[in-house]
Amino acid sequence: MRRLLKVLGLLVLLAVAGIALLWWYYLSYDTMEPPALPGALQSGSMEYGGHHRRWQAYVPASKPPHPALVLVLHGSMGDGGDIRMMTRYGFDVLAERDGFIALYPDGYEGHWNDCRGTATYTANTENIDDVGFLRALVQRMVDEHGVDPTQVFATGLSNGGQMSYRLGLEAPELVAGIASMAASLPVDANFDCGRSGVAVAAMVMNGTLDPVNPYEGGLVEILGDSSRGTVTSSADTAGYWATLAGYHGAGVKRTWPRRVASDGTVVESTDWSETGKVPVSHVTIVGGGHTVPHPELDLPRFIGPTSHQLDGPDVIWTFFKGLRPPPRQGSD
């Protein structure tokens, strides 16, 4: 009996060690401290729709009189601080360099009310007016910081990427461009948004090994929850925005230069761009997961591989920056 207990005890220890090793392997991720920048991280809140809504904003020391504004929207079960960290403070750095404001709002109870009609999180079941909230928040930034309302852009990861799509669909006059990571439009049967029919510049950035948002389309599932329903393929999502913008061809395809030889991912893109039409870009990360690409740092492995072949925030801001009109003069 004593020997049996020792064997059982050893098996329990091995099982615990194995679980701990798996936890470390799949859930651990690289961390970094916020960079020392001369601008200010500001926090704010407002009442909207009967709810107390919060946000953080990085305001650069180099802020011009009429800066651009980039809404950076977090994923499911997150907040503005989470996406600021997951983007490795990249939008803060770019904001300081180029003089725009990076705005990190919080969704309602950790989520955004996006276009996926079957989702069971509270933002959807209570039909929270997140388009209205973000519209009011942009106006707040116009009033307090002189933001140019013609230079407002929206990006996000996962649920935040889905919310960027909703802004492009329902409020194209609010956003000059959108860029979504790890998100694809829902299929018609799961589509719960209006469609303005107005074209908007759009970037779609998805990984082929995304375990949450399937690249080829299908059921979205996160931590066993499949209530978000079915989405279209990444290519069809990009194709929707391209067709809306008036493009009929297949776009220009290219393979990006490799930046990190030891990284197994490859970046490909299809771009549509013509005079008189808004640009659309489909960035495919072959071998990439449900992550924000970064040249060095990894996010948790359980959401798939992090590509080191590109810097997600830099690519997105480069796309947005190309949409900007010449700077306005004066300080009024």
At 85-102, the pLDDT tens digits run 999 999 999 999 999 999
Provide mean pLDDT across the span 37-55: 98
pLDDT tens-digit series, residues 217-243: 999 999 899 999 999 999 999 999 999
Please report which confidence band the pLDDT of residue 3 belongs to, taking 50, 70 and 90 as the band edges.
Answer: low
The answer on pLDDT for 18 being more than 80 is no
Claim: this prediction has a pTM higher than 0.75: yes
For residues 30 and 26, give the distance between their C-alpha atoms in angstroms, rounded to a whole number.
Answer: 12
Which pLDDT belongs to residue 22?
A: 43
For residues 62 and 92, give the distance between their C-alpha atoms in angstroms, rounded to a whole number.
Answer: 12
The domains of the chain, with CATH numbers, are 35-218+225-321 (3.40.50.1820)
DSSP per-residue codes, 147-207: --TTSEEEEEETHHHHHHHHHHHH-TTT-SEEEEES--PBPGGGB-S-------EEEEEEE
Query: Are 312 and 267 within 8 A, CB to CB?
Result: no
The answer on pLDDT for 293 being more than 60 is yes
